[in-house]
Copies of this chain bind each other. A is one copy, B any other.
Amino acid sequence: MNRTLTVAAAQMGPLQKSDGRDVAVARMVRLLEQAHHRGAEVVVFPELALTTFFPRWYHEDLDEADQWYESALPSPATAPLFAAIRRLRLTVYLGYAEIAHEPDEHGVLRKRRFNTSVVIGPDGEIVLKYRKIHLPGHVEYAPNRRVQHLEKRYFEVGNLGFPVVRAPAGRLDGVNMGMLICNDRRWPESWRELGMQQVELVMLGYNTPSLNMENRGFEAHHLRVFHSELSVQAGCYQNACFAVAVAKAGSEDGHELQGHSIIVNPQGEVMARTTRWVDELAVADCDLDMCRLGRETIFNFAAHRRPEAYTHLTAHAGSVAPAVWSPK
């Protein structure tokens, strides 16, 4: 059976602070329609696709930021998006800020905040949910930074692991789908968690500034797109999977986000790329059987991985100083 799936990266141009959900949702519905016209069965939107990238704005009181979060999906504001998904029979990745009223690790019911993505199926049902694990940035206002990056303030670390699910998508009875969000893509651990569950299609959205806001030396600005692509290409090659990596791009209230959304195959090749900083589609036909070569040969994990030698990977978060050599 031919296992080709047509996928679309639905990059979004900027959303300003003043833009309501209606602006975002109307643009997303147009992108879904365009993607459908181009034959796409799966459409991937960016991280936090319904609002501006609000973790650049500081609020002392978290509750003042509640306007940026969704308490329910669908909601009246997002209903048109779900209606379009059902009408066009699409499978869609959506990133958003989530408020969940659920027990914390001590069993106490709390209002909790996550940087979340979902896979929405063609009946509008939530097929899979993921909550971002590798939160970048910082908790407190950082006076040395030109722009704040307060993800560690606005979100808890995701508590759903790195789930992969096999579900119908487009013409196919079953596709192994997993998700990452933004900074997760730079961490080989994220990709490997998905690869260890035989992921075939990794969907990931991001909001990545086009400039390094720490004002430190060494990192040339032109390398930022390269680092993003390098991470996605290596993740796909080393885990024998496809990825659809999708940016929010352009100037949000004067703060530039890089574009260059890409679709990558299991050889690590870029199959399609957006090149503007506006709402823009990239579409590619993904033959999921291409995942088999890596899995059955060089990256046959069962034959070649050696967990007994991976003594540092899960034993601790931070690094340790190496042994110091001294002459005998």
Contacts and interface: CB of A to CB of B under 8 A. Distances in A.
B310 A314 contact: yes
Copies of the protein in its oligomer:
2
Interface in A153-196: 157-158, 161-168, 174, 176, 178, 183, 186-189, 191-193, 195-196
A268 B223 CA distance: 9
B127 A193 contact: no
B319 A134 contact: no
A135 B134 CA distance: 31
Contacts of A318: 301-302, 305
A196 B306 contact: no
A290 B219 CA distance: 9
A165 B293 contact: no
A328 interface: yes
A317 B195 CA distance: 12
A237 B227 contact: yes
A166 B324 contact: yes
Interface in A198-243: 198-199, 214, 216-220, 223, 226-227, 230-231, 233-234, 237-238
A267 B230 CA distance: 10
A325 B220 contact: no
Interface string A116-142: 000000010101100001111000000
Contacts of A157: 306, 309
Contact of A309 (B162, B198, B324): B162
Contacts of A195: 319
Interface in A64-116: none
A143 interface: no
Contacts of A37: none
Interface string A298-319: 1101101111011111111111
Contact of A316 (B299, B307, B312, B319): B307
| Interface core residue of A133, A188, A214, A220 (most chain B CB under 10 Å) | A188
Contacts of A227: 237, 267-268
A237 to B, nearest CB: 6
A144 interface: no
B323 A317 contact: no
A323 to B, nearest CB: 5
Contact of A319 (B197, B218, B267): B197
A251 to B, nearest CB: 23
Interface in A248-304: 267-269, 290, 293, 295, 297-299, 301-302, 304
Contacts of A216: 293, 297
Interface of A: 123, 125, 127-128, 133-136, 157-158, 161-168, 174, 176, 178, 183, 186-189, 191-193, 195-199, 214, 216-220, 223, 226-227, 230-231, 233-234, 237-238, 267-269, 290, 293, 295, 297-299, 301-302, 304-307, 309-325, 327-328
